[in-house]
Structure 1
Amino acid sequence: MHTFKSTLKVLLAQKLMILIYVVWLCLMMFGLSWTLITDLSASDSSVHYESAKADVAVVNRDPHGADLVGAMREFLAKDCNLVDVGTTSEDLQTAAASNYADLIVIVPDGYTQRLADALTTNGDEPKLDVVVSFTGAYGSLAKLQVDDFLRLTRIEALAQQTQTGAAVTPAALNTAADAVINTLADDAGAYPQINVADDPGAASDKQESARTAYVMTAKMGVYPLLAATLVCTALAMNAFSAANVRRRLYASPQHTGAMVMQEFAACALFGAIVSLLYWGISMALPALAGLPISGIPLPTLLYSGASLVLYALVGVASGFMISMLSANSVAVNAIANVFGLLVMFTSGMAFPIDMMPHVMIIIGKLLPGWWFCQSIDAVNGMDGHIDAGLWLANNAIVLLFGVAFICLGLAFSKLRRLRPELAAPGATQLAEA
């Protein structure tokens, strides 16, 4: 028991490694997961609708049509975004070339007078100068609204002419345009709004997003859990592998195997605590994003939590194997990062499996990360489906990797004992008081 407590003290003394691998690396994965979770939370549009609006610029060059153009802008503002592109030819050319507006409407000089004359004589109506965007249909739809406004104005002006018997003038057109706007303002149905009925599946959409967010976050533990437990375990057990420490341990009456088991048990406890903390934060992130935690089936939570703990124990076993090689801290960090990244990119977490090359899939199946992700997929709760048998089979393979790492570590330990480096120095060294 003394060795167990000493190992825990050695583990907790590695503050820098814990800060880098347990805190910072996990926070980095949680940050990536949070970005995806917030997108899932904001993507649910089952109970609201917001239509896109065209960007329209109206340029007036007719001094007699100020009221007509003002009424046109007010009419378009109900369903379009009015933008300013300037009035000079250079400004208009720049706006058209840069596609700044979906529609540019230019009212030429004398347009109001020519329109009034056309209505009086029943001649051809003048045309506005329009520039429609070449990248979408919003400009064409906005042009239909301009034509609709002019049609309503023409009808109102002809109605006034019928009542008074006077010819249509620019002033009469301006008055007709104002009358159109006032009439539409008093009509509640003139600008109908799109009403979206409540979707009975809206709550389930949110719940599905919560389940997807949790499963995605849990699978992201494939890299930080492995790297953190490997590094911390290897460095902690390396502390007991120094020549002077081993000499004292071998001289003690306690069996070496019992001491190693206590060291491994302490590291396993550390790995289990780290995995449980990761599991708890994985459950908290969807709730913090406003997604209902009730959308995650309870079996999915329990089975995936067990998968995280078992996977962390495999990381401890790999750290035990590395410690038996007596690698220094630089080598341990290099092995942890290379091995961890290899496991992550071949596990199916970083890329969809159907997009991965066949070689990567083969390599992934030779590593524990693939089977860890498969175990979570087996109980991800999609459509309420939980395959406990497949989960158990995948985790059995994960544990076999842990057993293999332990066996390799014991083999390396035996080789080290066959070639001990416990001989005393060639020269006698005086002990310092």
Structure 2
Amino acid sequence: MSTFKASLKVLVSKKLMIMIYVVWLCLMMFGLSWSIIQNLAHSDNSTTFASARPEVSVVNRDDDDSDALVRSLNEFLAKDCDLVDVGGSDEELQTAVASNYTDLIVIVPQGFADRFAQTITDGTDVPELDTVVSFTGAYGSLAQLQVNNFLNLTRTEALAQHGAGGSAITATSLTTAAQHVVDALDGNENSYPTISVADDPHSATDAQESARVAFVTSVKMGVYPLLAAMLVVTALTMNSFADANVRRRLYAAPQRSGSMMLQQFAACGVFAVVIALVYLAISLALPALAGLPVSGLAPASVAMCAGSLVLYALVAVASGFMVSMLAVNAVAVNAIANVFGLLVMFTSGMAFPIDMMPRIMIMIGKLLPGWWYCQSITAAGGASNAVDAGAWLANNGLVLLFGIAFICLGLAFSKLRRSRPNLQASATTQLAEA
């Protein structure tokens, strides 16, 4: 047990690597998971309807007679539109059109109020305003319909006032009619009805499904940080025992070299299991913090995901053991961890949907443990908490085979290294100087 305890002390002393690979990488993945979880938590849960509000700019180029008419138009549009100011010069209007600053620009031309009043008297069509509709969406066209609706309502109200009083229709009476239209609509609660969304009878089931997707997604995202972190930490810890002077002292001790190596591996494995379980706990906590009902997750599904996480972390330790037997320095270990970890992540099906991945990426992914780890998570937490125990066992069996292969390669590298005398002791005896 002395080697096991020493290995734990050496592992804990690698504080910088633990902070970078264990803490920082996991936090980065949890940050990505949190953004996905928030989207799931806020999807299809609204009980009110909020309609889109187009942005409209009204430019008045008429004389003072139409100021009141334009103010009434603005009040009418403000109920369903956002009014913005783009200026009134030709250059400002051209800039607004070119930059698509608003959805609709309404220009009231010179003498519009007088012409509008004259058309009502003559019984002709309402004169049209100059409008510029956005070229990127339909909101401007919908706002233009509201402008036309305001003009028609004003015309109807002016005709009603003219028929009742018998007076001539002028620009002044027209503005009075426009203001009466706005006041009448404000006083009528049915003019702008509120749209309510009925409760979804399946909302609870949908929320549980969102919680399942959030949990499974978060667990799958451990494919990169767990592999990179455990590979680096294990390789650097076991490399600390591979120094020539340290190895001579260890081999002089009354212990088998295999037993000492097993204790080193066990210490790294215990650390990996702890990190995997902490990662699982945080993966469960994030959906709960977002308000998703994690209590609806099947206990068997959570337990199987925990098993997959622990097994994958131990396989990552096995890969670190294999790298440590190559006797490479810390720089090479970091390079191997990042390159191998990123390769596994991008070919595992976690970063991209499988149906969007090229065939060559899928073929490469199936030659790496990350693919089968993600498949085991999918089998453990399928749709509607359907657990496929057979697929889960088969996929984890393949992950375990990768771990066994890594250990066998590491033992082969270790035997090769022991056969080289320059790794064990100096070729000649060196006398110490007094």
TM tier, smaller: over 0.9
CA displacement at 1:8 relative to structure 2: 0.5
Asked if 1:34 is matched to 2:34, the reply is yes
2:362: which partner in 1? 361
Deviations 1:93-114 (A, max 9, x none): 2222322222222222222122
Quote how far apart the aligned CAs of 1:391 are.
0.3
Q: Which residue of 1 aligns with 2:229?
A: 228
Q: In the alignment, is residue 263 of structure 1 matched against residue 264 of structure 2?
A: yes
Q: Secondary structure at the match of 1:130?
A: strand
C-alpha distance in 2, partners of 1:334/1:47? 51
Cα separation, 2, equivalents of 1:124 and 1:182: 25
Structure-2 change in CA distance of 1:162 and 1:319 (3 Å): same
Matched, 1:290 2:280: no
User: 1:325-370 deviations in whole A, cap 9, x for unaligned?
Assistant: 2222222112111111111111111121122222221211111111
Deviation at 1:427, TM superposition (A): 4.2
Distance of 1:204 and 1:425 partners within structure 2: 72
**Do the aligned partners of residues 428 and 186 (structure 1) sit closer, same or farther apart at CA in structure 2, a change above 3 Å counting?**
closer
Q: Which residue of 2 aligns with 1:322?
A: 323
Structure 2 unmatched runs, 5+: none
2:78 counterpart of 1:77: yes
1:27: how far off?
Answer: 1.4
- Counterpart AA for 1:50: A
Q: Give me the whole-angstrom Cα distance separating, in 2, the residues matched to 1:385 and 1:49.
A: 34
The farther-off stretch of 97-106 and 155-164 is 97-106
Q: What code does the residue aligned with 1:51 have?
A: S
For the residue of structure 1 that corresponds to 2:65, the secondary structure is coil
Counterpart of 1:52? 52
| 1:248 positional shift | 1.6
Q: Distance in 2 between matches of 1:97 and 1:232?
A: 56
Distance 1:32 1:117, change over 3 A: same
Map of 1:428 onto structure 2: 430
Q: Does structure 1 residue 111 correspond to structure 2 residue 107? A: no
Q: Tell me, yes or no, if the aligned pair for 1:37 and 1:286 is still in contact at 8 Å.
A: yes
Q: Structure 2: which amino acid aligns with 1:261?
A: L
1:32 is aligned with what amino acid?
A: L
Measure how far apart 1:85 and its partner are.
1.6
Q: Please tell me the residue identity of whatever aligns with 2:134.
A: S
Deviations 1:161-218 (A, max 9, x none): 1121111121111111111111111111011222211122223333222211211111
SS in 1 for 2:160: helix
Conserved? CA contact 1:47–1:202, under 8 Å: no
Contact 2:55/2:84 (<8 A) preserved = yes
> In structure 1, how many angstroms separate the alpha carbons of the residues matched to 2:253 and 2:99?
82
Within-5 A mapping of 1:82-97: 82-97=83-98
Structure 2 vs 1, CA of residues 65 and 412 (structure 1 numbering), >3 Å: closer, same or farther? same
Equivalents in 2 of 1:195, 1:252: separation in Å? 79
Q: Which residue does 1:205 correspond to in 2?
A: 206
State the distance in 2 between where 1:384 and 1:425 align: 63
SS at match of 1:65: helix
User: What do the CA deviations read for 1:12-32 (whole angstroms, capped 9, x no partner)?
Assistant: 111111111111111122222
TM-superposed deviation, 1:424: 4.8
Tell me: CA distance 1:248–1:171, structure 2 relative to 1, closer, same or farther (3 Å).
Answer: same
Contact 1:206 1:295 in 2 (8 A): no
CA–CA separation in structure 2 for the residues paired with 1:355 and 1:154: 57
How does the TM-score come out when normalised to structure 2?
A: 0.95
- Please list, as runs of the form range in 1=range in 2, the aligned pairs for 1:380-395 lying within 5 A after superposition: 380-395=381-396
Does the 8 Å CA contact 1:219/1:373 hold for their aligned counterparts? yes
Greater CA deviation, 418-427 or 260-269? 418-427
Give the Cα separation in 2 of the matches to 1:397 and 1:206: 33
* Paired residue secondary structure (2:55): strand
Tell me the residue number matched to 2:8: 8
Mean alpha-carbon deviation: is it higher for 173-182 or for 2-11? 173-182
Does 1:337 pair with 2:338? Answer: yes
Q: Are the aligned partners of 1:46 and 1:199 in contact in 2 as well (CA < 8 Å)?
A: no
* Counterpart in the other structure of 1:22: 22
Distance 1:30 1:257 in 2: 38
Residue type of the alignment partner of 2:227 = L
The whole-number CA distance in structure 2 between the counterparts of 1:136 and 1:320 is 58
Partner of 2:61: 61
CA spacing shift, 1:297–1:46, aligned 2, 3 Å:
farther
Aligned to 1:43: 43
Deviation, 1:295, is 4.1
Counterpart code for 2:3: T
Query: Superposition RMSD on alpha carbons, in Å?
Result: 1.8
CA contact (8 A) 2:212 2:385 kept: no
Residues 231-271 of structure 1: per-residue CA shift (max 9 Å, x gap): 11111111222222221222222222221211111111011
Task: Rate the CA distance shift 1:311–1:164 in 2: closer, same or farther, 3 A.
Answer: same
Give the ranges of 4+ consecutive aligned residues of structure 1 lying more than 6 Å apart after TM superposition. none
Q: TM-score, normalised by structure 1?
A: 0.95
User: Which residue number in structure 2 is paired with residue 412 of structure 1?
Assistant: 413
Distance in 2, Cα, partners of 1:381 & 1:358 = 24
Answer whether contact 2:126 2:151 (CA < 8 A) is retained. Answer: no
Instruction: Work out the CA distance in 2 between the residues paired with 1:292 and 1:322.
Output: 42
CA–CA distance in structure 1, aligned partners of residues 126 and 44 of structure 2: 48
Q: What letter matches 2:4 in structure 1?
A: F
1:13 and 1:431 map into 2 onto residues whose CA distance is: 33
Alignment-mate amino acid for residue 259 of structure 1: M
Describe the shift of the 1:220–1:256 C-alpha distance in structure 2 as closer, same or farther (beyond 3 A).
same
